[in-house]
């Protein structure tokens, strides 16, 4: 809804413009945008709420709250609040139209690097919990625990990645665009041993090798990088 924001009265009679604004905010959720700007936060008690230091004014005690479900922010310190467009207006000192142009230029996969790191770390924690994954590696001669850790090998059991990442504040739309979940929201690397693919010290993709009857090889969309043990 546009009502309640400074530009609401200007655009509320133009439903087409309003729909475009909502689509823009859906493509680049507020929390994803803030993460791109290196904003750090912790859960604030509710599953969809996060709190951190306010990016709009100096402070030492976190008072800046984001509701990821509603896509809104409010700072109890400076009293500013609103949606993504309002945040850009305030933080970049731009007009409404300038903010729209700025956000359109920012409309790239939001914080993909951090998301892939989170997913890779999650998969690594699952490896020891599923004997079938360790058996798969042992059958292929990979029994050295230290080497497995060095290679950062993980396992995708399915059914829990989405819940974990959404709890960290990542939007379901971003998970779909990155390819970590399919259009139905299920883990794309389900029942696969997972290897991170590095390039220039960054995880640029994840490679899954099936432990069952599914298609043997699967990469996420995008660059495949190289299968290396660690950032080099």
Q: Which pair of tokens denotes residue 3?
A: 């009502």
- Burial (CB count <10 Å: 0-12, 13-18, 19+), residue 226: exposed
What are the structural domains of the chain? 8-105 (3.90.580.10), 112-227 (3.90.980.10)
Query: Helical H runs in 39-185?
Result: 84-92, 96-105, 112-126, 131-139, 145-151, 161-167, 172-178
Per the CB < 8 A criterion, the answer to whether 59 and 77 are in contact is: yes
Residue 122 has pLDDT above 70, yes or no: yes
Work out the average pLDDT over 213-221: 82
Length of the chain: 232
Q: What is the pLDDT of residues 44-82, one digit of tens each?
A: 877 789 999 999 999 999 999 999 989 999 999 999 999
Between CA 51 and CA 66 the distance in angstroms is 6
Burial 44-66 (b: 16+ CB within 10 A, else e): eeeebbbbbbbbbeeeeebbbbb
Between CA 170 and CA 10 the distance in angstroms is 31
DSSP 8-state code for residue 129: G
The more confidently predicted of residues 104 and 186 is: 186
Work out the average pLDDT over 105-112: 59
Work out the average pLDDT over 151-178: 86
What pLDDT shows up at residue 135? 93
Per the CB < 8 A criterion, the answer to whether 44 and 65 are in contact is: yes
Which residues are bridge partners to 199 per DSSP? 202
What pLDDT shows up at residue 230? 41
Q: What is the pLDDT of residues 137-152, one digit of tens each?
A: 999 999 999 999 999 9
């Amino acid at each position: 809804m546009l009502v309640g924001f400074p530009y609401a009265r200007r655009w509320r009679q133009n439903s087409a413009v309003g729909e475009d604004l909502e689509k823009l905010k859906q493509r680049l959720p507020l929390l994803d945008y803030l993460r791109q700007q290196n904003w750090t936060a912790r859960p604030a008690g509710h599953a969809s709420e996060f709190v951190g230091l306010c990016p709009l004014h100096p402070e030492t005690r976190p008072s800046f709250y984001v509701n990821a479900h509603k896509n809104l922010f409010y700072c109890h310190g400076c009293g500013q609040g609103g949606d993504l467009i309002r945040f850009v207006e305030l933080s970049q000192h731009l007009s409404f139209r300038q903010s729209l142009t700025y956000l359109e230029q920012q409309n790239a996969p939001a914080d993909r690097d951090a998301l892939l790191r989170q997913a890779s770390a999650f998969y690594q924690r699952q490896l020891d919990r599923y004997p079938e994954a360790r058996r798969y590696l042992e059958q292929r001669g990979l029994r050295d625990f230290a080497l497995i850790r060095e290679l950062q090998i993980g396992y995708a059991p399915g059914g829990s990645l989405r819940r974990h990442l959404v709890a960290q504040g990542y939007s379901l739309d971003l998970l779909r665009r990155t390819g970590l979940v399919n259009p139905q929201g299920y883990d794309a690397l389900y029942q696969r041993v997972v290897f991170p693919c590095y390039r220039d010290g960054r995880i640029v993709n994840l490679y899954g090798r099936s432990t069952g009857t599914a298609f043997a090889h699967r990469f996420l969309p995008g660059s495949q990088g190289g299968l290396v043990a660690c950032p080099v």
